[in-house]
């Protein structure tokens, strides 16, 4: 078996962090890395002890949920809280950072931003990164060992087994098999 790359590994860690998100609009995870070691992680969620979006819905102002602290900010704040320097570190984040997080990452001395998904990539943020000498690298997570669709697959297999036990319709069975082929293919994972 071939080992996954460092980029795949750290992005997979960020994807796992995103699963802790309490925001229903977008689940984001971030891992700050130095010398091939994770020094902090964060996900988007409410202020400690506060109301969570998953419990009472998002608190949206001007099209943005203001209840959450973004994943990148939470990771940076974790470093600040425990006195861990971020100068010349890298960050792996599941989605391209927003403008505010972009400015915070620059100020924190992050040297490379690895991201999985484009998400409202702000042109001014891109300009700021270029001016600050921060590298942007998109990471494709497509290794089969990093399966982001396991719940959908399990539900589908259960449905397939139930329907196959009841159906004699070969056309329906073929459609089900086609869907299974798509779910179990080695194509890049979806969110």
Catalytic residue annotation: 72
Q: Write the CA distances from 41 to 16, 31, 75, 161, integer angstroms.
A: 10, 4, 5, 39
What's the CA gap between 119 and 7, in Å, rounded? 19
Residue among 177, 154, 153 nearest 164 (CA): 177
3 state SS for 119-178: CCCCHHHHHHHHHHCCEEEECCCCCCCCCCCHHHHHHHHHHHHHHHHHCCCHHHHHHHHH
3-class secondary structure, 38 = strand
What's the CA gap between 188 and 147, in Å, rounded? 10
Please enumerate in sequence order all residues whose Cβ is within 8 A of that of 93, keeping only pairs 6 or more positions apart, or say none.
14, 28, 29, 30, 31, 71, 72, 113, 114, 115, 116
């Amino acid at each position: 078996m071939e080992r996954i790359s460092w980029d795949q590994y750290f992005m997979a860690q960020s994807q796992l962090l995103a699963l802790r998100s309490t925001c229903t609009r977008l689940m984001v995870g971030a891992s700050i890395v130095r010398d091939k070691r994770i020094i902090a992680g964060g996900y988007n969620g409410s202020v400690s002890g506060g109301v969570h979006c998953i419990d009472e819905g998002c608190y949206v102002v001007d099209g943005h949920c203001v209840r959450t602290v973004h994943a990148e900010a939470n990771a940076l704040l974790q470093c600040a809280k425990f006195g861990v320097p971020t100068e010349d570190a890298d960050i792996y984040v599941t989605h391209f950072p927003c403008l505010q997080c972009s400015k915070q990452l620059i100020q924190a001395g992050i040297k490379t931003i690895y991201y999985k998904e484009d998400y409202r990539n702000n042109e001014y943020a891109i300009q700021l990164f270029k001016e600050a000498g921060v590298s942007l690298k998109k990471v494709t997570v497509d290794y089969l060992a990093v399966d982001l669709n396991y719940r959908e697959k399990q539900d589908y297999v259960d449905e397939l087994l139930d329907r196959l036990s009841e159906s004699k319709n070969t056309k329906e069975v073929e459609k089900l098999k086609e869907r299974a082929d798509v779910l179990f293919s080695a194509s890049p994972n979806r969110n």
